[in-house]
Amino acid sequence: MWSVKPLQLSDFDYHLPKHLIAQRPLPERTGSRLLHLSRAGLTHGLFRDLAKHLRTGDLLILNDTRVVKARLQAVKDSGGTAEILLERVLLPSDGRLSASSSEALCQVRVSKPLKAGRFLTVSGARIECLGRQGEFYHLRFPESVFDFLQRHGELPLPPYIQRNDEAEPEEGVVDEERYQTVFARKLGAVAAPTAGLHFSDAFFGELREQGVNIAYVTLHVGAGTFQPVRREDLSTHVMHEEHYQIQPDVVAQIEKTRAAGGRVIAVGTTVIRTLEAAAADGTLTAGTGSTRLFITPGYSFRVVDALVTNFHLPKSTLMMLVCAFGGFEPVMQAYAEAVKERYRFFSYGDAMFIERNHV
């Protein structure tokens, strides 16, 4: 077993051939493969086989955030071009995320840094730079950020997908539809909660008939999720901030599930971050908040018993979270097996189902 917590960045590296990075979704959402990690070891199957691993009374929790058209092409007031990518909409003073919020933190790709008081123009509308917060620019939009983006923005596919947002004529696959979960409801994400992309309405129906319960939380994934970890010593890494919301009925469902002996199963690392952040003081609490929770091996999980997740980038914070959840050595061995068996990686790739009882 791994006796010393692997808190160096290089511990989370692995070799991934470029051709295993999925560039397009499969024709069917549930058509991906599934690698199951349990006490018995590793087993291979299809995503539809997840139903065999779930039990009556289990509670499946998913992230219902919806990806916004978060990328904008702009012109500086000096005449140069700029690319804007939303990081997160800023909360008003009451702490509640509002669809009418007009200020946001954004990445801005420009030849020279922007200064406070300068403007960026998109389709004749001006966006004001109010200053900086770390690596992000604080921008004020002329209207609701979400309304502006939906009208003028582009879908921000992850940087490892080396093509534009497009349709696949031979298969009818369109990114604008497939880079959203079928249950996406609440605008605010820059990236999809990709473990949820595997689920279809029909599959949800099968799970419900089986006696599996389903609940939703919200965590708006920011562009910071794609930022590389730059420090070898992970104790010095500062996690990006993301907004989340948990409704009281979800907390009640979790408590009821536990009391009945069922399992709480997170669909995606974003759900784990949401639940664990809301239980940071030892008790899971409903409400709205923000989190910079950075989970690495040695973390003591309070809420989640099993995890459905995609395969994540080497040396990423998501890889570290999965290693913390499933055990460092078992997860690294699982990734080596996935590479050997030519699984498809990242957002449009295949999935894992990890049960904590093997650790």
By DSSP bridging, strand 59-63 and strand 213-219 are: parallel
pLDDT for the residue numbered 220: 93
Structural domains for the chain = 9-67+176-358 (3.40.1780.10), 71-152 (2.40.10.240)
pTM for the whole structure? 0.91
pLDDT of residue 97: 55
Residue carrying the six token digits 């989640």? 304
- State how far the Cα of 244 lies from the Cα of 280, in Å rounded to an integer: 14
- Is residue 65 within 8 A of residue 359, CB to CB? The reply is no
Cβ(326)–Cβ(359) under 8 Å?
A: yes
Burial of 118 (0-12, 13-18, 19+ CB in 10 A): middle
Contact between residue 195 and residue 309 where contact means Cβ atoms under 8 Å apart: yes
Distance between CA 336 and CA 13 in Å, rounded?
11
Quick one: CA torsion of 314, 320, 324, 325, rounded to 10 degrees?
-70
Q: What is the pLDDT of residue 215?
A: 98
CA angle centred on 148, ends 238 and 153, rounded to 5°: 75
pLDDT tens-place values along the chain, 359 residues long:
444 555 899 999 999 999 999 999 999 999 999 999 998 999 999 999 999 999 999 999 999 999 999 999 999 998 999 999 999 898 765 445 556 789 999 999 999 999 999 999 999 999 999 999 988 999 999 999 999 999 999 998 999 998 765 545 445 558 999 999 999 999 999 999 999 999 999 999 999 999 999 999 999 998 777 788 999 999 999 898 899 999 999 999 999 999 999 999 999 999 999 999 999 999 999 999 999 999 999 999 999 999 999 999 999 999 999 999 999 999 999 999 999 999 999 999 999 999 985 44
Give the per-residue pLDDT at 27.
94
Residue 305 phi/psi, 5-degree rounding, is -105, -30
Q: How many CA atoms lie within 13 A of 138 on its CB side?
A: 9
